[in-house]
Structure 1
Amino acid sequence: MHPLLLRTQARLRRAAKPLGEAAVGALTILLLRSTRYFDPVKTANLFGRVARLIGPLTREQRIGRANLTAAFPEKSPQEIEAILAGVWDNLGRLGAEFAHLDHIWEHDAVFPGKSWIEIPPRCQELFEQLRLDGKPALIFAGHLGNWELPAVAAVAHGLDAAILFRRPNNASANRIIEELRAVKMGTLIPAGRDAPIKLAEALRNGQHVAILVDQYFSNGVDVTFFGRKTKANPTLARLLRQIECPVHGVRIIRLPGHRFRAEISDEVKPVRDASGQIDVAGTMQAITSVIEGWIREYPDQWLWLHRRWR
């Protein structure tokens, strides 16, 4: 193609990009605001079906299939496709549930059978320990089940929490998403250069700091995940080096009948080097291994659609 045509195409793409982002932002706002007016269960069913239909047409389907095939070489192609269908269903349902974050958490300890949420007795005991022991804590989670709900659960049950989150690239979409998250999610700390400083300050103030730890981090430490080397974000372990405190994992698993089970892990002990100092890479490996165990239990509820290995 002639260089002049190539330059013209490049200029048109650059000029169209802001318009495309604005359209995506407007659509996100419209979708989230309108979804709030409909029944959350029916909407989750609809979004799950739509995601199952549209998801396989995207490039993320190929990424997810490659990830699953490498992680579970013993599974047949049919099993892999069934897991992928569940991944899309979970993602669609999560989108619908996100619009109802301010009232989706319903747990009644007196009548647990009537609640959307079930909390096993041991997890309830661990939660009360975290809430009442007067200590800060580091909480890790992964993109499993409904990964937005742990922050809602913390605030609903009186846990003083600070949540690290990543802003969407689209500014318009970010505004509505932050508006929804801010309702019942405690202190929100956006990812960025000053995030570690703010997180350390939150710990010193006695707060419970929560971080998602299961995505690829280019400047991270080496860990093994499903038998393959990858990079993990070391922020949690580095914070632990500064302020030693308990470390627990949390997950909220999707159950049949539009219900969830909230679980807190027992304390995950940090790995230490010969001098007794926190071993950052070793500690992140211990945490990554917990996440892997969770995913093996519920592979169709994890977000296989991003490039975890590179």
Structure 2
Amino acid sequence: MTSTKPPDRKRRNRRSRGKRFGDWLVYSIATGLLRIITALGPDRASNLGGRVARLIGPHLSVSNIARANLKMAFPQKSEEKREEILKGVWENLGRTACEYPHLDQLYDFEIEWMNPRRVEVTGIRNFQQMLWDGKPAIIFTAHLANWELPAVCAARHGLDMTILFRPPSNAFIADYVMNVRAGTMGRLLSRSRGAIMHVAASIERGDHLGLLVDQRFSRGLSVPFFQKSTPTNTTVARVARQFDCPVFGARCIRLPNNRFRLEVTDPIELPRDSDGRVDIAAATQAINKIIEGWIREYPEQWLWLHNRWDFNKKQLKKNRPKAEG
């Protein structure tokens, strides 16, 4: 008996099955590697990941995005200096990836301890304010050092928080990531068009909202970042405007010997309009300025591999290393 399905539907079904198999294959390889990384322990895994990524990463084509970004952000730096930053970017990414199965072990900070071990925290009073005041707040962060640790910190110390995040496109890996994160980071909310309704409900309950805001957001507002305007996530400013709740910044800094410092800022005074409400454009620009300052301090610890300023192929081609040109 011949199939009655239209040819287009058949092709779509084949593509769908092919993609699902491809996703499963990538997931199987990734989980196999993660088992090895888990067996190594946090220090050896981080060191190995950093060395391998530093060696291989700069030769991958995606590094041309980072080169274009770095040249735009730091035109005064020499090409050699920018290449050194790029190597550090890859080392940090390799370390962060291999630290992923060890997040529970990495975070060892306790508020009552006077002498920090692997993790130290500055701005702990600001964290305690959020923990004890019973009020909602917004915490923004960026892809710096091991950017998962601020959320681990919040969950470990009992801060009610909803984490807004973008899941991986691979459905198998997305499920794995959700399971790992849910066990260490609390309540997770996938970024989607309907997510803002859940965010509003969370804030109304008195919860805290945590989110990364440093990547390109195509539906966002175009505001300056490193002196060049680019579409930017306005969720922090919009929620702060609607609920008039305090806003804090949090970042992770990678220290020598596989240690970390987490910093929680004081409440940030966001710009307001003539009616006394948070000005969305000015507030978003102020947040960009804070994140830019963090990146300038430790440029090798930020994820420059993301096409934040939407460079096209022709522009990226110009940033190939001279040996490739």
TM-score, normalization by structure 2: 0.87
1:28 — aligned with what? 30
2:277 — aligned with what? 277
* 1:63 aligned residue (53, 62, 65): 65
* 1:47 aligned residue (46, 49, 60): 49
Separation in structure 2 between the aligned mates of residue 156 and residue 109 of structure 1, nearest angstrom: 11
Q: Does structure 2 retain, via aligned residues, the 8 Å contact 1:221–1:232?
A: yes
| Structure 2 unpaired stretches of 5+ | 1-12, 311-325
Separation in structure 1 between the aligned mates of residue 265 and residue 109 of structure 2, nearest angstrom: 19
Separation in structure 2 between the aligned mates of residue 203 and residue 13 of structure 1, nearest angstrom: 41
Identity %: 47
2:258 — aligned with what? 258
Q: Does structure 1 retain, via aligned residues, the 8 Å contact 2:106–2:119?
A: no
Q: Does structure 1 retain, via aligned residues, the 8 Å contact 2:142–2:214?
A: yes
Separation in structure 1 between the aligned mates of residue 283 and residue 62 of structure 2, nearest angstrom: 30
Cα pair distance change 1:139/1:111, threshold 3 Å = closer
Give the letter for the 2:27 counterpart.
G
Q: Does structure 2 retain, via aligned residues, the 8 Å contact 1:160–1:207?
A: yes
Cα pair distance change 1:31/1:278, threshold 3 Å = same
Bigger drift between 96-105 and 207-216 goes to 96-105
Q: Does structure 2 retain, via aligned residues, the 8 Å contact 1:247–1:268?
A: yes
Give the letter for the 1:24 counterpart.
V
Q: Deviation digits for residues 253-300 of structure 1, max 9, x if unmatched? A: 100011000101121122222222321111111111000000000000
Q: Does structure 2 retain, via aligned residues, the 8 Å contact 1:155–1:186?
A: yes
Separation in structure 2 between the aligned mates of residue 158 and residue 32 of structure 1, nearest angstrom: 28
1:175 — aligned with what? 175
2:131 — aligned with what? 131
Bigger drift between 101-110 and 40-49 goes to 101-110
- Three-state SS of the structure 2 residue aligned to 1:184 is helix
1:13 to partner: Cα distance = 8.3
Q: Does structure 2 retain, via aligned residues, the 8 Å contact 1:26–1:173?
A: no
- Three-state SS of the structure 1 residue aligned to 2:292 is helix
1:199 — aligned with what? 199
Cα pair distance change 1:13/1:201, threshold 3 Å = closer
1:210 to partner: Cα distance = 0.4
Separation in structure 2 between the aligned mates of residue 240 and residue 83 of structure 1, nearest angstrom: 35
Q: Does structure 1 retain, via aligned residues, the 8 Å contact 2:38–2:45?
A: no
1:113 to partner: Cα distance = 4.1
TM-score, normalization by structure 1: 0.91
Q: Does structure 2 retain, via aligned residues, the 8 Å contact 1:217–1:231?
A: yes
Q: Deviation digits for residues 104-154 of structure 1, max 9, x if unmatched? A: 21114555545110123xx01111111111111000000011111111000
Is residue 95 of structure 1 aligned with residue 97 of structure 2? Answer: yes
Separation in structure 1 between the aligned mates of residue 254 and residue 41 of structure 2, nearest angstrom: 18
Give the letter for the 1:46 counterpart.
L
- Three-state SS of the structure 1 residue aligned to 2:162 is strand
Q: How many residue pairs get matched?
A: 299
1:79 — aligned with what? 81
Separation in structure 2 between the aligned mates of residue 185 and residue 231 of structure 1, nearest angstrom: 28
- Three-state SS of the structure 2 residue aligned to 1:218 is coil
| Structure 1 unpaired stretches of 5+ | 1-10
Give the superposed CA RMSD. Answer: 1.9
Give the letter for the 1:293 counterpart.
G
Structure 2 counterparts to residues 118-267 of structure 1, below 5 A: 118-120=120-122, 123-267=123-267
Separation in structure 2 between the aligned mates of residue 43 and residue 252 of structure 1, nearest angstrom: 19
Q: Does structure 2 retain, via aligned residues, the 8 Å contact 1:112–1:118?
A: no
Cα pair distance change 1:56/1:12, threshold 3 Å = farther
Q: Deviation digits for residues 3-44 of structure 1, max 9, x if unmatched? A: xxxxxxxx9988754443222121222222332222110011
Separation in structure 1 between the aligned mates of residue 244 and residue 28 of structure 2, nearest angstrom: 44
- Three-state SS of the structure 1 residue aligned to 2:230 is strand
Separation in structure 2 between the aligned mates of residue 71 and residue 158 of structure 1, nearest angstrom: 38
Q: Which aligned runs of 4 or more in structure 1 are off by greater than 3 angstroms?
A: 11-19, 108-114
Q: Does structure 2 retain, via aligned residues, the 8 Å contact 1:145–1:301?
A: yes
Q: Deviation digits for residues 167-219 of structure 1, max 9, x if unmatched? A: 10001111211111111211111111221111111111111100100011111
Cα pair distance change 1:136/1:192, threshold 3 Å = same
